[in-house]
Amino acid sequence: MKDIEIPGTGNGGLTSESACRGRRILHIDMDAFFAAVEEKKHPGLRGKPVVIGGAGDPSRRGVVSTANYEARKFGVHSGMPLRTACKLCPQAVYLPVDYPAYAAVSRRFKNVLLYVTSAMEDVGIDEAFLDITDLPEDDQTVAARIKKDIYKAIGLTCSIGIASNKLLAKIASDMQKPDGLTIITERDIRDKLWPMPVRKLYGIGPKTEEQLHVLGIKTIGELAATQLEVLVQRFGFSHGHYLYDAARGIDETPLVIHREPKSISRETTFQRDEKNWQVIAGTIARLSRQIISDMVVKGYTARTVTLKIRFDDFHTVTRACSLEKATDSDEIIRKTAFSCLRRIELKRRIRLVGVRASNLEHAESRLPGEVRT
Ligand code: TTP
Ligand code: MG
């Protein structure tokens, strides 16, 4: 491999600003996810080759969504026609895709991650990035804790990659599957990243791969040895620069973090200050319904309901009531809001009412078939 000097480093290693800033990005990807969930549902499948896809009937059209590691030994992989899979591995158990079951398990696993840090980017049904820069523990400890907690919560294994950016962390998580942990440091760029085929880099699909092959570039190291001008000329300014940086393990993309809402609320100001109890009660019922509809769409249940009343002199009072169990029942939320209303002395006209649902929990974090209590 040619020696490549990366500007500003003099050592041929990774020294982008992102690396120097020392972010710690963790990528996690569940192992043979759909198949693993099925094995959990049907323990009799353990040890057998399992293929998930379409309607689960290999004599009909459809593609493989995933195969467990036993089936992969026969050459079965995602995206392959089911019929081909059946020729390669006729003895496998073929199952239909049960997306709601996988989504429910996915939510549970994401909840475990959110306990570790709220700095999570949710990138797919079985993967996520976490920014663990500010956690006190070292990389191994964080990874071991996550693996243990996930196994405890859903009984499944995952693979984890840790590096200074998303690009490298994702490559790392794929390097030792299943149940792997791979940490890529700056020093590993040369030894671990560069020997890999270019296709391993995020953003290099079959077309780019083919064009790179035409240029005689097969490995990431060979890409890193290619001049920027050549890449820009061939792939355009933006993609050319991307390839140039990516081959050096440089990636400054921030995590796109979804912040969990702390509460869901609605309020309304009356056209004219109101004292009619029935109008007020009707408004509270309407606001409760709107909140429920928001909660259901976003997949939450709530444990606490708060009622806010602002009087015509702008004096504002709130009353909260917590339930024993989180709910998304219209009736329970409405009744709870009314019980809050009964604790407020309505001695003046009312200017505004508001209802808030808080202490939110994920509605679908239950497994299918699990009873909601
Ligand atoms: P992957 O993480 O790519 O695959 P995997 O979890 O089955 O196996 P591993 O990570 O151990 O290599 O995808 C996650 C799930 O997404 C997978 O279980 C099924 C689904 N999927 C498809 O439906 N079609 C596809 O082409 C791919 C790649 C995945
Ligand atoms: Mg996976």
Distance of CA 39 to the CA centre of its chain: 22
Residue 157 Cβ inside 6 Å of ligand 1? The answer reads no
pTM of the predicted model, to two decimals?
0.72
Which of 31, 37, 66, 175, when mutated, tests ligand 1's pocket best, judged by the most ligand atoms within 8 Å of its CB? 66
Q: Where are the alpha helices (DSSP H) in the chain?
A: 17-21, 33-41, 69-72, 82-88, 99-116, 139-154, 166-173, 188, 206-214, 220-224, 228-235, 237-247, 277-298, 330-341
Cα separation, 254 vs 326, in Å, equals 34
Q: Which ligand 1 atom minimizes the distance to the CA of 69?
A: 11
| pLDDT mean across residues, the chain | 90
The closest of 256, 233, 228, 254 to 243, measured between CA atoms, is 228
**Alpha carbon of 237 to ligand 1 centroid (Å):** 32
Is the confidence at residue 362, as pLDDT, over 50?
yes
**Alpha carbon of 47 to ligand 2 centroid (Å):** 18
Confidence (pLDDT) at 6? 39
The ligand whose atoms approach the alpha carbon of 66 most closely is 1
Q: Are 177 and 27 in contact, with CB atoms under 8 Å apart?
A: no
Distance of CA 200 to the CA centre of its chain: 21
Confidence (pLDDT) at 218? 97
**Alpha carbon of 164 to ligand 1 centroid (Å):** 25
Reported confidence tier of residue 61, pLDDT bands at 50, 70, 90: confident
Is the confidence at residue 224, as pLDDT, over 90?
yes
**Alpha carbon of 296 to ligand 1 centroid (Å):** 28
CB atoms within 10 A of CB 313: 10
| End-to-end Cα separation, the chain, in angstroms | 61
User: For 127-138, what is the mean pLDDT?
Assistant: 96
Between strands 25-30 and 66-67, the pairing is: unpaired
Catalytic residue among 39, 70, 121, 127: 127
User: For 24-43, what is the mean pLDDT?
Assistant: 97
Would you state the structure tokens that stand for residue 109, as one six-digit string? 């696993």
Which of 29, 30, 31, 33, when mutated, tests ligand 1's pocket best, judged by the most ligand atoms within 8 Å of its CB? 33
The DSSP call for residue 367 is P
Burial class of residue 142, CB neighbours in 10 A (0-12, 13-18, 19+) = buried
* Domains defined for the chain, CATH in brackets: 33-100 (3.40.1170.60), 197-254 (1.10.150.20), 263-362 (3.30.1490.100)
For residue range 184-196, list pLDDT tens digits in order: 999 999 999 999 9
Q: Higher confidence at residue 115 or residue 27?
A: 27
Is the confidence at residue 134, as pLDDT, over 50?
yes
How far CA 231 is from CA of 239, 240, 244, in Å, comes to 8, 5, 7
Confidence (pLDDT) at 364? 57
The closest of 185, 189, 186 to 201, measured between CA atoms, is 189
Is the confidence at residue 216, as pLDDT, over 80?
yes
User: CA 239, 229, 216 angle in degrees (round to 5)?
Assistant: 80
The ligand whose atoms approach the alpha carbon of 102 most closely is 1
Q: Higher confidence at residue 14 or residue 100?
A: 100
Residue 32 Cβ inside 6 Å of ligand 1? The answer reads yes
The closest of 298, 357, 371 to 326, measured between CA atoms, is 357
Reported confidence tier of residue 4, pLDDT bands at 50, 70, 90: very low
Identity at 368, one-letter amino acid code? P
Q: DSSP string spanning 111-172?
A: HHHHHH-S-EEEEETTEEEEE-TT-SS-HHHHHHHHHHHHHHHHS--EEEEEESSHHHHHHH
Residue 78 Cβ inside 6 Å of ligand 1? The answer reads yes
For residue range 244-281, list pLDDT tens digits in order: 999 999 999 999 997 777 899 999 999 999 999 999 99
